[in-house]
Amino acid sequence: MHPGKLILLPNLLDEEAPAEKYLPSGLSAVVRSLQGLIAESEKPARKFLRRFLSHDEMVKLPLRTLNEHTTDLNELMQPLMQGQCWGLISDAGLPCIADPGAQLVALARKAHVLIETYPGPSSIFMALQLSGFPAQRFTFHGYLPRESPALEHAITALETRSRQELSSQVFIEAPYRSAKLLAALVAVLKPNTQLCVAASLTTAGEQVVCRPVAEWRQKPLELGKQPVVFVVYAG
């Protein structure tokens, strides 16, 4: 039996955002062709499926999870090795980008499973675009260390890298820690370093503020608990 197909599906950054604006028009037919769905967590997956399937169709579709708690990918690979077509989604944005789905794609590729991907929103690339900072060279760091002094060391290191490479440095943080990270960035980065805060992208409350750190110190921003992408440029 020939291996099946794994389809990488985009998800909205904000579940209230209009799907027709951010998702490909042909995605409905793709979702209807699936024999199962692999998701980061069940609740966002159900919300995703409700956009394309009736309740009865959604209930019949097998759903399995792949997240930081997943230790064995063999169960997820089994239907693909039996020739079935399954989809892979993240809770928000694109799968495999700062997402454990990359592990499954690597394993599927080794097993000669056909892999397809579809375009959609990515907060990381949106923030880089909206910042206006140079994007010929950039580095995505994922999450920075949570505690001092490791956090301060990481901030200094990426600032130095940005200056040496003339590259933008991109990273994210959990919503409940965004304000703390912003405070650390403003305290540690040099006054002339450019800092962009892209918060709640694609939502009604979207905020994208880009300015030198010296100005951030004069005009603080109340982030609350928003999802944020940070971009630093020290060139």
* One domain for residues 19 and 65: yes
Q: What is the pLDDT of residue 100?
A: 86
Tell me the average pLDDT of the chain: 95
Task: Report the alpha-carbon distance of residue 195 to residue 183 in Å, rounded.
Answer: 12
Measured distance CA(31)–CA(27) in Å, rounded: 6
Q: Which of 90, 117, 144 is the last residue of a domain?
A: 117
Let me know whether 166 and 224 are in one domain: yes
Give the residue from 91, 117, 143 where a domain finishes: 117
Domain match, 168 and 73 both: no
Residues 89 and 129 in one domain: no
- Band of residue 2 on the pLDDT scale cut at 50, 70, 90: confident
Pair (9, 112) in one structural domain: yes
> According to the model, what pLDDT value does residue 3 have?
85
User: What CATH number has the domain bearing residue 187?
Assistant: 3.30.950.10
Based on the domain organization, do 152 and 227 belong to the same domain? Answer: yes
pLDDT of residue 88: 98
Q: Which residue(s) pair with 64 in the sheet?
A: 38
CB atoms closer than 10 angstroms to residue 175: 15
- The pLDDT assigned to 151 comes to 98
Tokens at 210, concatenated: 């880009």
Q: Give the structural domain span for 14.
A: 5-117
Same domain, 201 and 128: yes
Interatomic CA distance for residues 148 and 34, integer angstroms: 46
Distance CA 43, CA 192 (A): 43
7: three-class secondary structure by DSSP: strand
- Average pLDDT value for residue range 192-213: 97
Question: Is the same domain home to 222 and 138?
Answer: yes
| The pLDDT value given to residue 71 | 86
22 and 75 inside one domain = yes
Tens digit of each residue's pLDDT (9 = 90 or more) over 83-141: 999 999 999 999 999 888 999 999 999 999 999 999 999 999 999 999 999 999 999 99
pLDDT in tens, 29-69: 999 999 999 999 999 999 999 999 999 999 999 999 998 88
Over residues 158-187, mean pLDDT? 97
**How many other CB atoms are found less than 10 A from the CB of residue 114?**
14
Total number of domains constituting the chain? 2
Query: What CATH number corresponds to the domain at position 93?
Result: 3.40.1010.10
Domain end among 117, 144, 176:
117
- Write the pLDDT tens digit of every residue in 180-198: 999 999 999 999 999 999 9
Q: Is the same domain home to 152 and 109?
A: no
219 with 127, same domain: the answer is yes
d(CA 83, CA 78): 9
Question: pTM of the entire structure?
Answer: 0.91
At 26 the pLDDT is 92
Q: Are residues 85 and 156 in the same domain?
A: no
